[in-house]
Structure 1
Amino acid sequence: MSTIDELRRSLGSAGTDESADWSALVAGGIGLVCLLGAFGSFLLNTGLTAVFLLGLVLVVAYGWYAHQAETAKSLTFVATASTIVTMGLIVVFIFREALPMIQQEGVSLVTDTSPPLWDTSDAVYSLTPLMWGTFVTTVIAMAIAGPLGVAGALFISEIAPGWLREVVKPGIEILAGIPSIVYGFLGLTVINTYFADSDVLGLAGLGSLFAVGLMIGLMALPTVVSVAEDALASVPESMKSGSLALGSTDWQTMTDITIPAAFSGISAAVLLGVGRAIGETMAATVMLGNIVEFPDPIYDVFGNSITLTSAIASQYGDAGEVQLTALFAAGVVLFVTVLAISVGSQVIEARMEHELGGQR
């Protein structure tokens, strides 16, 4: 009798598992339909988005109650796929909106340097002064944030005593969270005013590429310090101890062991700072005069000009249809630039890991 009872129980549990699988499959199918329906309704603006979202919430609630593991896996997959799809839609939208200007101006959009460069009345647009302003401010910013950031990371990770490290590192991370408009306002009221009132410089008006680069460098500094310090801290202590045991000084250990071993992370930190500098909007918009022309002479870093981000922020509000496509073209240039920097950082990191890992 016991064998028969066990067989009945096993058959019953098998039936229960089969019904549970079917209910999970049905719930997943309904959830997928609701998700796709909400997405399609949002794109078509049919007004049914809220209905589909409510259905999705109910299906997820049921799944979390009855099939928690399967629901968690599905939600993580949906979150990842949604990120990729959203990114793809943003890219498609930016390129689609910029396409008329790209077709109108062609290569001259990013190569023309002869005036007029930006004339809304005649629908003439060239991004070269915007690109030059972005390039100059980024170079100045990274000349400040790069060396100072790496030096600060070395001090925190290798030199500072423990009690000081516990104070300085959170302070630097707090600086990274200060809104950019605050930095921009400080730059406008302090740095711009100083450059204009200084007996040495005595600039004719408020705003200069050097002042913006200086402020953006200070803004990018906490990011570079924080990421580079994490990279330096990840170097195994045995490598440093071995160097010291062989008679190397602390400075030789840092320059010959710690920095090369963490170079991929340090380079990623600097490139993150570059991305922050290129994409900075509010500080450049507030501090610059937003004049769409080259400085005179072009290498005058104390001249007033404009950047890609400040042009978008300052002109999109009252831009006409053609001008708006030009601003979208500026967004395309920014996107391609940041994408190239990101790919470059990945290549550098992979190469350093390959070399430091002893692979040839």
Structure 2
Amino acid sequence: MNILGIESSCDDTAAAVLSDGKILSNVIASQTVHEQFGGVVPELASRAHNKTIWATVDQALETSGFSMPDVDAIAVAKGPGLMGSLLVGLGFAKGLSLSWEKPLIGVNHIDAHMYANFIEHNEVFPFVALIVSGGHTRLVHVTAPFEHTVLGKTRDDAAGEAFDKIGKMLNLPYPAGPYVDRHAKTGNPEFADFPRAMAKKGLDFSFSGLKTSVLYYLRDQRQSYIDEHLDDLCASVSAAISDVLLVKLRRAVRKTGVKQVMVAGGVSANSMLREKVRAMAKKEGVNLMIPAMEYCTDNAAMIAKAGEMKARLDQFDGMELKPFASL
């Protein structure tokens, strides 16, 4: 099948074409308007999607060598995400579906992050997935396509949100997560002993306490001290977050007895987390799947892949498909 994927759940307008399981194009138009505010402004995000979505889809089709008559189905993110942003992508996908008489497939953005792993890995079940992004942190036990049981989730902030907000405290550019990772590579992860909340029990997460701890720590330091030890501070923050993610993932693997593990979402691009998860998988004797960097953050290739999987199961949608801010 030839699937056109469209993603607009937050501040990236993306389109991709998948043909017979292979990604032929994966175009992302990132929005820079939010940098001056230090975070995504929903109204500005939806306006930016409106300006770029047609050009983004057109470029994805052109790069793939396909045109709309070649497309068999249109997959689009239906949520979770910013309502205004989702409406732009969904409305555009519906317009294409009606005008070209192509089937429509609504895709859960979080499902898509997981199944992005199947772009480069064989589809295997069951598995445990650790999904970590700016808005979501959860452990999911997947027994079959789109048959999920949530084992644990964050009780407050997501891991990616903690990275970004702590990075902002350190005066790093927005989005701060990648900059924290970059500085952490040359820092000492044992420089500051930040808390590992709820590490010793259960499968739920909590990162709000870590943010508060870092805030108080920085408040008591001179700016010159922070600048001098920026790499060490970033490494210590990365260690605190990745340690908690790792211990929860290991606990979930042992609880379920699965032999397949995957990590997904924007934070799966974090180098310290990737290194620790690889070591854990080897020690536990489980197969690990981590998406390539271009499939970690929000993209349309993952929407197209999930759409292809739903099409195989004959899970199509009609014009009544609605966006959902939370799913």
| Bin of the TM-score, shorter chain as denominator length | under 0.3
TM-score, with length taken from structure 2 = 0.23
More helix, by proportion: 1
CA radius of gyration, larger in: 1
TM-score, with length taken from structure 1 = 0.22
Q: Select the structure with the greater relative contact order (CA < 8 A; seq sep ≥ 6).
A: 2
More strand, by proportion: 2
